[in-house]
Structure 1
Amino acid sequence: MAIQPSSSALRALALEYKSLQEEPVEGFRVKLLNDDNLFEWEVAIFGPPDTLYQGGYFKV
């Protein structure tokens, strides 16, 4: 039996995703793997300048 996500979870994720699209966080890129599924995101983190991670690209 598949678990159905709650409407409040979907609403919260939709609001968070919309916020990140309208006001991106520097050093991060966020997108959905599939536009029909708010539970699977692809996040890329770019290493900040003047740190050990400068030039790094970390995909989660």
Structure 2
Amino acid sequence: KPLELLSNRKFDDDDINDNVQLIKEKLEGNLADVTSFDEYAIEIRSGRLSWTPVHQSEK
């Protein structure tokens, strides 16, 4: 939430606005990666892997 507040705030210095936006984008990308890994970890712990495209071999 603090980052959301910062991204909604407009600073006089455009560099600050650009940096806040860049940080927000990077963190959102990392959050998506963590969420995908969490889903995978839950699936592993359940002992029931589903053969979705993510788990299928290209061979």
Measured against the shorter chain, the TM-score band is 0.3 to 0.5
Comparing both structures, which one devotes a greater share of its residues to strand?
1
Normalising by structure 1, what TM-score? 0.35
Where is the helix percentage greater, Structure 1 or Structure 2? Answer: 2
